[in-house]
Structure 1
Amino acid sequence: MGEFVIKMPDVGEGVAEAELVEWHVKPGDPVREDMVLAAVMTDKATVEIPSPVTGTVLWLGAEVGDTVAVKAPLVRIEISGEGETAAPVEEKPVAKVEEKPAVKTEAPAPVSKPAQPAKVEVKAPTTNGVHANGAHAAGERLEKALASPAVRLRAKESGVDLRQVTGTGPAGRITHDDLDQFIARGAQPALAPAGLQRKTAVDEIKVTGLRRRIAEKMSLSTSRIPHITYVEEVDMTALEDLRTTMNRDRKPDQPKLTILPYLMRALVRTIADQPAVNATFDDGAGIISRHHGVHIGIATQTPAGLTVPVVRHAEARGIWDCANELNRLADAARTGTATRDELTGSTITISSLGALGGIVSTPVINHPEVAIIGVNKLAVRPVWDGTQFVPRKIMNLSSSFDHRVIDGWDAAVFVQRLKTLLETPALIFVEA
């Protein structure tokens, strides 16, 4: 029998390391050639690692969430034959995954002084308060209560039976506060409503995969970009009327229009007048790149977390084309089939929570971009028209800008121009 060592592959594009996000095997598992062993992630692109051989897993070189360098040993597999001829790997593994042995239930062998268990089932006393073995129930349970010697002494001096006190400390340990509260109630046990119990469990969840990428991205953005957020309400009544008409008259092969394709086209028209907003800022090199192409990132919630698929060259797409591409990318993001190219390269981002959009938000800029447009909830509100209040469909836009690159005045001008186009949607279709 021999041993075959699988190393972290070079996933390309100059990536020197990747995060392990999933194991499909454990030590002792049989594997066959081309069977997927693990999945790694780099820059939001997930790559599956197959086995090039058939054999049995001997060792795993990392835990989920660990960052593994390219060419570092990842899996060792026992195979028929001589295996690899390379020198044995001397590095100590990052982590070794082992199966936990079954817990034996046999009683421990007797010793000279039995260790007192932390929690013992107490037999029900007889009518005279004494067990069949002659032990007094009250004295036995008092000794078994989880409490410090100081608490026990106070309880004894106060004439309190610790069996009646509910402990809130670790493992139900009775604290001084528990004893104080019990005495303050007149030495009566606390009565909880039927069915209600205290919960002390804590679930620890390791931040891995896409969730860790999101955390890193948000930390980078908020720590390096001084945000300015500008909020403006927009009367969407005319646009909603137009959208209803276009959806009613659409062809069978055309998608149903949402607000986003109109907003994308309005962004293209506004950026033509203010190209500084459609930019990325390399703050390390001190270079602002103003992009002629408008590549709009659409923040999309998926089962795995937030992703930002990119509608490329929105300046060359009409309303229906924007809607088609938007639907295609959203489906790819939610099913986890979006490619690396479809998730990178945006120059400005739209963030929309749909019906959950709230009244106002403070969207975080998608670094290294300099602007993000936040879409809030659409609602019917009373608006004064000069003589009376009339119902209008109002939606707020909450837009954040990199204040190092975009001045407050320019941010306001940009949003006001966007507001004009959305409130007069015919202008969106007028040739520049």
Structure 2
Amino acid sequence: MRVADGHGLYEIKVPDVGEGIAEAELTGWMTTLGAQLREDDVIAEVMTEKAAVEIPTNVSGKVLYLGGDVGDTLAIGSTLIVIEVEGVGNTSKEDLARKLAGSATATASTPAKTHAQAAKPVSSPKVVKPKAPAPIAGQRRAEGEKPLATPSVRKRARELGVDLRRVLGSGPAGRITHEDLTHFHETGGQFSGALAKRPQRTGETEEKVIGLRRKIAERMALSKSRIPHITIVEEVDVSDLEELRAQLNKARAETKGKLTVLPFVIRAIADAVADQPNMNAHFEDDDSIFRKFEAVHIGIATQTPGGLIVPVVRHAEAMTLWESAAELGRLAVAAREGSATREELSGSTITITSLGPLGALATTPIINYPEVAIVGINKMEVRPHWDGAAFVPRKKMNISCSFDHRVIDGWDAAVFVQKLKMLLETPALLLLED
């Protein structure tokens, strides 16, 4: 690293964001090698187990070294960036060289190679150029090119007096089939394209999985590899719930806000786990500890532009329907804007997942490790219901609940699902205060 006279080196380390986190993933550079920085400029973004964190610089100067590539995992306290500053810095060239030489997070053994690697501030999709494609079915042959056809097709073409060089083939590699020959003969040589197959696609793209997407992948793999899931799907008649919801919104939406189905589900879960506290728990399997909670902190799986995250409605057991609705709205905005804090994205004791209007008839939700239960809400639709005398239309939806079968028995899981069903089908019970 060359440093001008009267200048020093200033090292910024990967910050300690608390909660015992030992490493962070570098998910983005906001600067490049050789760039001039001003104090308080954001230089990088890192992702921890809890949230994304933007890192600013507290000095002005020129970027001399970047401590990794996007997608690298960096140890807390390792060198993130080195800046040439006016006057005295906070490290010497010799100390920095020794540190980088012995650091497990150094990206190369020589500064030249490290700089070349670190000069890539943003990881972008890699486009793999396709090889030259084979002839496509239905593609016209070049002039003078011999038509492809089986002996039987050639014999029939001679009998019909058809010049196969004028026939467009729809078979593999443009091979002329009997259907192609018949179509050509019957249409007087006018090829409509009806028999042509769609062109083959041969391109590929490669994109590195980093940041939130990688965290989601790791969490899903952890959950599925360690938790033996049992899933129960039950149909719920929500006609009365929808009628009550419409009445409450008509009477109180202007003063208390609009209710969706989700606050009713939250209240039903809070009431159900009061009878079955084993559902509102964590199984810390490394230490064989089954930790049950009195507080009901419900995670809400939320789709954002960056991927799926789980903000938490805390103390749902103490909330009214309207309070949980307001908190849901606030958390959804924070999640989608990327402003949710680590505290708002951690600490859930049981989770709800829903695909909203895109929902299917049934799903098999994956448990949010180390929780032991998750409730999936599927799409609502009008279905025929036999009332004993005739079929009548009723609004129904399925709930899909998954459980950790190591600590939750099938019988207890079924009891929990039936309690949810009873509460959602008798929504007036959800308005009762203890």
**Aligned-residue CA RMSD (Å):** 2.8
| Aligned: 1:83 with 2:89 | yes
CA–CA distance in structure 2, aligned partners of residues 26 and 163 of structure 1? 55
| CA distance in 2: counterparts of 1:311 and 1:164, whole angstroms | 69
CA distance in 2, matches of 1:358, 1:200: 32
**2:118 corresponds to which letter in structure 1?**
V
State the SS of the aligned residue for 2:268.
Answer: helix
Q: Cα deviation per residue 1:307-365 (whole Å; 9 max; x = unaligned)?
A: 11111111111111111111111111111111111111111111011111110000000
- Give the superposition deviation at 1:29: 1.3
Name which of 377, 400, 404 aligns with 1:402.
404
2: distance between equivalents of 1:21 and 1:346?
25
| Counterpart contact for 1:362–1:400, Cα < 8 Å | yes
**2:166 aligned residue:** none
Give the C-alpha shift of residue 260 in structure 1. 0.7
- What residue is the counterpart of 2:379 in the other structure? 377
- Return the offset for 1:80: 2.4
Which residue, 44, 47, 61 being the options, matches 1:55? 61
Normalising by structure 2, what TM-score? 0.77
The aligned amino acid for 2:410 is G
3-state SS of 1:359 partner = coil
Question: Which of the numbers 12, 33, 36 marks the counterpart of 1:30?
Answer: 36
Counterpart of 2:378 in 1: which secondary structure?
A: strand
Q: Deviations over 1:131-160 (max 9, x none)?
A: xxxxxxxxxxxxxx989xxxxxxxxxxxx9
Match of 1:270 among 269, 272, 275: 272
Q: CA deviation at 1:428?
A: 1.6
Letter in 1 for 2:275: D
Q: Report Cα offsets for 1:199-238 as digits up to 9, x if no partner.
A: 3221111111111111110001000000000000000000
How many residues end up aligned between the 2 structures? 360
**TM-score scaled by structure 1?**
0.78
Whole-Å separation in 2 of the counterparts to 1:246 and 1:239 = 10
Q: Percent identity among equivalent residues?
A: 55
Tell whether 2:363 aligns with 1:361: yes
Aligned match for 1:68, one of 60, 74, 94: 74
Give the corresponding residue for 2:52: 46
Alignment-derived partner of residue 312 in structure 1: 314
Map 1:83-102 onto structure 2 (within 5 A). 83-86=89-92, 87-90=95-98, 91=100, 93-94=106-107, 95=114, 96-98=117-119
Distance 2:132 2:431 in 1: 75
1:426 corresponds in structure 2 to: 428
Q: What residue in structure 2 maps to residue 239 of structure 1?
A: 241
Cα distance 1:345–1:37, how it changes in 2: closer, same or farther (>3 A)?
same
Structure 1 residues 32-431: aligned runs within 5 Å: 32-86=38-92, 87-90=95-98, 91=100, 93-94=106-107, 95=114, 96-98=117-119, 185=176, 197-431=199-433
**In 1, are the aligned partners of 2:233 and 2:398 still within 8 Å (CA)?**
yes
Deviation at 1:183, TM superposition (A): 9.1
| Pair 30,274 (structure 1): closer, same or farther in 2 beyond 3 Å | same
Partner secondary structure for residue 19 of structure 1: strand
After superposition, the Cα gap between the structure-2 partners of 1:263 and 1:85, relative to the gap in structure 1 and judged at 3 Å, is closer
The whole-number CA distance in structure 2 between the counterparts of 1:89 and 1:33 is 25
Contact 1:231 1:360 in 2 (8 A): yes
Contact 2:24 2:76 in 1 (8 A): yes
Report the counterpart of residue 151 of structure 2 in structure 1: none
SS in 1 for 2:96: coil
Q: Which moved more, 1:41-50 or 1:81-90?
A: 81-90
Q: Give secondary structure in 1 for the equivalent of 2:382.
A: strand
Partner amino acid, structure 1, of 2:354 = S
The amino acid that maps onto 1:88 is L
- Structure 1 residue 290: deviation in Å? 1.1
CA distance in structure 1 between the partners assigned to 2:291 and 2:143 by the alignment = 71
Q: After superposition, what is the alpha-carbon deviation per residue over 1:59-98, rounded to whole angstroms, capped at 9, x for unaligned?
A: 2111111101122112122222343443132325325233
Contact 1:296 1:314 in 2 (8 A): yes
Contact 2:64–2:84 under 8 Å retained in 1: yes
Structure 2 portions without partners, runs of 5+: 108-113, 122-130, 134-140, 147-170, 181-190
Aligned residue identity for 1:261: P
SS at match of 1:89: helix
Query: 1:224-270 CA distances to partner (integer Å, 9 max, x unpaired)?
Result: 00000000000000000000000011152422100011111111111
Amino acid at match of 2:348: S
Classify the secondary structure of the residue corresponding to 1:323.
helix
One-letter code of the match for 1:97? Answer: A
Partner letter of residue 248 of structure 2? M
Whole-angstrom CA distance in 1 between matches of 2:211 and 2:49:
10
Q: Give the whole-Å Cα distance in 1 for the aligned partners of 2:368 and 2:142.
A: 61
Q: Secondary structure at the match of 1:88?
A: helix
When residues 28 and 274 of structure 1 are mapped into structure 2, their CA distance, relative to the original with a 3 A threshold, is: same
One-letter identity of the residue aligned with 1:389: F
Match of 2:149 in 1: none
Residues in 2 aligned to 1:62 and 1:250: alpha-carbon distance in whole angstroms: 54
Give the Cα–Cα distance (whole angstroms) in 1 for the partners of residues 206 and 241 of structure 2.
47
> What amino acid is aligned across from residue 215 of structure 1 in structure 2?
A
Contact 2:66–2:119 (8 Å) recurs in 1: no
The separation in 2 between residues aligned to 1:23 and 1:183, in whole angstroms, is 49
Query: How far apart are the structure 2 equivalents of 1:99 and 1:245?
Result: 57
Q: Residues 394, 89 of structure 1: CA spacing in aligned structure 2 closer, same or farther, 3 A cutoff?
A: same
Are the counterparts in 2 of residues 21 and 208 from structure 1 also a CA contact under 8 Å?
Answer: yes
